[in-house]
Structure formats: structure tokens, C-alpha cells
Amino acid sequence: MSELVFVGTTGPGLQALEYAREAGHRTVLIHSPRHDFFLPDAQRARARELVDRVVEVDDVADTAGVLDALRAAGTDPAGIDAVLTTLHFSIVPTAHLAKALGLPGCDPDAILAAKDKARCRRVLDAEGIPNLGHAVGRDLPGVLAAADRLGYPVIVKPATGVGKVSTALARSAPDIEALFAAAGDAARTVDPGVAAELDGRFIVEEVAVGPLYSVEVACDGRTFTPLVVVRRKTGRDNPVLELGSTVPCGLPAEREREVGEYAVRVCRALGLGVGLFHVEVIGTAHGPRLIEVNPRVSGGAIPDLVTAATGRNLFAVLVDLFTGRPAPAAPFPPIAGASHSFITAARDCTVRDDLPDDWFDALRPRIHSGWTTVRPGDRLRRMDGNFDTYGVVRVVAEDAGTAERTCAGLMAEVEKTLGIPLTPVAAPSERTAR
Ligand SMILES: Nc1ncnc2c1ncn2[C@@H]1O[C@H](COP(=O)(O)OP(=O)(O)OP(=O)(O)O)[C@@H](O)[C@H]1O
Ligand SMILES: [Mg+2]
């Protein structure tokens, strides 16, 4: 039995709390309203049910304040075995807290190096790891100058961005001017917690051409194992948009191994320690190239997809790593093919008024799992980033190709049923940034 302190949780991360309870660990949840702005009330309530103790703090970044709050609630910091999180907005405070207590985790500086896309690319260059051309701009003239130096097309994104906020492919200077014109609106409309992540710097990058993958890398402090390579579905018209994923990734075994080993090299170079890391990579004609590292377990729909395709639960591995278990020795072998797509709108639109309330139930017998928030007469926003997602349709089949095709067929049906245009997905052969 270990005493585990979770710093906030995501919705999918409730599975880590469930597993910790089943495994007989004592659990404390540190809750700060500043950090859990995405969590629906029902999931927040469920998190409270699953843990042995909830400790309320105003700011999880105030390490001394968190330690005081733990003591006041009756948790002796000396008895804590691990501090961990599944929530992106808590990873830096979690690393500081673990360091203050001398517990396993990642050095805060390694976390900061991973989260800062510009610093991360400098680490790759210093270590001689194949990398994309990059430069930083702090304002519109700086970004335009950086793009001129690199040569168009380029990707422009906040150096510490998440969820595709203010991220775009720019084919020429006017595209960058348009991004900056919209960035002010984006900064005003995104949640303050997301806005707080941004520091005004933009990274300008060479465009990697090829399919997008993500790798879940596990580390027990010594061994790094690429647990699973996931193929991501991207937008046909806007390659920055992610529209779903498939496992297994469809690469020949040797190429899949190459992607996994590249992700491990990146994690090692950053000096990441105990934990699970979500590494995004594009498979170019010259080999894998890093898109970004999220120094935390994957969020969103990917963990459930991995469970459907491999029978393994990433959150269980996460808890095991933090309670001193070794990292799995090898990638998870697939037991099925699994694919999901997000319900997102190609443009601002309104769902038909005569849509039956239970429209999604008609799909249920033919899907593995899924959800939707779409109701008759809803106004949907054009998908600009991860926060404009109105549901998931997930299919499991004997192989990934069948799962992906079946999922695409069901999405065509969803499009017809709702009477709105869904965001078009690039065909596998077209999954390149153009
Ligand atoms: N240099 C690049 N070349 C090609 N495509 C890129 C590049 N950088 C980003 N992209 C595309 O844009 C997407 C968003 O970029 P990135 O992952 O860095 O942003 P993000 O906002 O942190 O995303 P999220 O938080 O949703 O994972 C990537 O998934 C990829 O599809
Ligand atoms: Mg990303």
C-alpha cells in the first residue's frame, strides 16, 4: 500500500484514481478550482468519491502552501510515497512538490524544457537528434522575420501552446498577419487557465510532411519503453486539426520501432524521469521528426483507444510506475484494431430542430463506445482547435484498417443525421501538411 497524492485530475484520469483504489493505495486529491476548469461537475464529484481525502488549495503552484494544507488535513508529508498528476495544467507544480519531498517524478526543469517547444527543439539540436528548422518571434515583425529566414510554408504556434490555440500553417506573410489578428480574440475567448500557459512567444517551424503519430513513453527512472504508437487523423483542409486516432498505427514493425525509439531518444535528451509521456511525431520521408512533447500521460480519447486495442490501461501503468514498479519491458501487443473520430463542425452551423433527442442511441449497437453533446437546434462552432469537439465515435474490429473504415462510414451517417458538414479528415495517403 502506498500513499499517493494526485494533483488535480482529468476526466479520463479518474481511471488512475479507480485503479489506485482497487490496488489498495491510499489516495489524496489536491483540488484547486483554478486548475480543473475543464472538469464537468459529475466527474469532479466522482473524483471526490474515489479518493480517501480531498485537500482544497487556492494555488497548486504554491508548494509551501500545499504542504501546509496537507498537514492541516492530517496528511503527513513525510508519509507520502508519490505525487503525480494526469492534468496538463498541474505538471509543473507536481514536479516541484515531488522534488520538495524528494519523491520520484521528473525534475521541474526537464518538465519546463519539454513544455517549451522552442527550448525543446534547442535540446534536440544540442543532442544531435533529427529536428525541424525553427525560430522564435515575440511579435508580428519578429515572427514574419523568422518565417522569412526559414522559408514558407511554416507552422506558427505559441511556444507554450496547448489545444491548437493560435496555431496555423502559414503559406505566406498574410497568413501570419491573419493569425495575429485572430490571436487577440483567441486570448480573450480561451479559458484563463489556458491563456495563463501562454507567454507571448511564438515558435515558427519548418513544416514536417507525413502522417502524424503519437507515442506513449513510460519511464521508471532508468528504462524508457515506447508503450504504443497511435496514428492520428488530421484535417484535410487544415492539417493542424486532429480529428481522431487509430491503433495499431499501421506502420511496418521496423518503422513503428523507429518511431518509438525516436520518441525515447527525445525523452532521454530532455532528462525526463518517472512517468508517462505523450510524444507527437510526424513520419517524414527522412524519418521521424518531433512535433511536441507533453510531459504527462495522453489526455482526451487516446487512453480509452489504447485500452480497446491492447487491453492495457495507461493509467494503471502510471500508478504502477509511481509506486515503484518497473516500466513494461516491451510495447503493448495489439489484441484488436481500434479507431475513433471526433464529431466536429466544418463551419459555424445549426443542428436541425427535428433531430430526435436519442439520435446517438441508434449508433450505439454498432460502436464500441462514444458520446455526444449534440442536441436538436444546437449552434456548433467551426472547429478551430481541440475545444470545439462535440463527441466521439469509437469502433473496434479485427484490424485497424477495418476499424478505421467502419468508423469513417459511421461518421458519414452522423453527418447525414445531423444535417451539418463535419470537418473533413485527410485520407491516410494524404495525411500530410500542404
Ligand atoms: N512543424 C510542424 N509540421 C507539420 N505539422 C505540424 C507542425 N507543428 C504542428 N503541426 C500540426 O499542428 C498540430 C498542433 O501542433 P502542436 O501539437 O505543437 O500544438 P498543441 O496546441 O500543443 O496541440 P495539443 O495540445 O492539442 O496536442 C500537430 O498535431 C500537427 O498536426
Ligand atoms: Mg499536440
Where do the structural domains in the chain lie, given as residue ranges? 3-103, 133-206, 212-430
Of the chain, the end-to-end C-alpha distance in Å amounts to: 52
Residue 375: count other Cβ atoms within 10 Å of its Cβ.
Answer: 12
User: Which candidate, 178, 238, 175, 249, places its Cα nearest to that of 212?
Assistant: 249
Cβ contact 422:415 at 8 Å: yes
Paired residues of 137 in beta bridges:
202
Paired residues of 206 in beta bridges:
154
What percentage of the chain's residues is helix, strand, coil (to nearest 5)?
35, 25, 40
Kindly list the averaged pLDDT for each block of 10 residues, start to end, along the chain of length 434.
96 97 98 82 96 96 97 97 96 98 98 97 98 96 97 95 86 95 75 79 96 98 98 94 97 98 98 98 97 96 98 98 98 98 97 96 97 96 89 98 98 96 84 41
Report the pLDDT value the prediction gives residue 47, as an integer from 0 to 100.
97
Report the pLDDT value the prediction gives residue 187, as an integer from 0 to 100.
66
Of the CATH numbers 3.40.50.300, 3.40.1350.10, 1.10.3720.10, 3.40.50.20, which one belongs to the domain with range 3-103?
3.40.50.20
Describe the crossing of helices 314-322 and 14-22 by its angle, rounded to 10 degrees. 60
Question: What is the 393 CA–ligand 2 centroid distance (Å)?
Answer: 21
DSSP state of 431: -
Q: Which residues line ligand 1 (CB under 6 A)?
A: 132, 155, 157, 161-164, 167, 205, 207-208, 212, 234, 239-240, 242, 280, 282, 291-292, 386, 433
With the C-alpha atoms ordered 371, 377, 378, 379, is the resulting torsion angle positive or negative?
Answer: positive
Report the pLDDT value the prediction gives residue 244, as an integer from 0 to 100.
98
- Which atom of ligand 1 lies nearest, measured to the CA of 240? 12
One-letter identity of residue 369: S
Report the pLDDT value the prediction gives residue 24, as an integer from 0 to 100.
97
Report the pLDDT value the prediction gives residue 195, as an integer from 0 to 100.
78
* Bond before 141 cis per omega within 30 degrees: no
Report the pLDDT value the prediction gives residue 429, as an integer from 0 to 100.
60
212-430 has which CATH code? 3.30.470.20
Residue that the C-alpha cell 479485427 belongs to: 398
Question: What is the 22 CA–ligand 1 centroid distance (Å)?
Answer: 36
- Which atom of ligand 1 lies nearest, measured to the CA of 205? 1
Of the CATH numbers 3.30.1490.20, 3.30.420.40, 1.25.40.420, 3.40.190.10, which one belongs to the domain with range 133-206?
3.30.1490.20
Query: CB neighbours of 242 closer than 8 A, spacing ≥ 6?
Result: 164, 212, 232, 233, 234, 235, 342, 386
Report the pLDDT value the prediction gives residue 434, as an integer from 0 to 100.
37
Ligand nearest to the CA of 135: 1
The CA distance from 114 to 292, in Å, is 8
> Could you read off the pLDDT of 210-221 as tens digits, one per residue?
999 999 999 999
Task: Tell me the chain's radius of gyration from C-alpha atoms.
Answer: 21
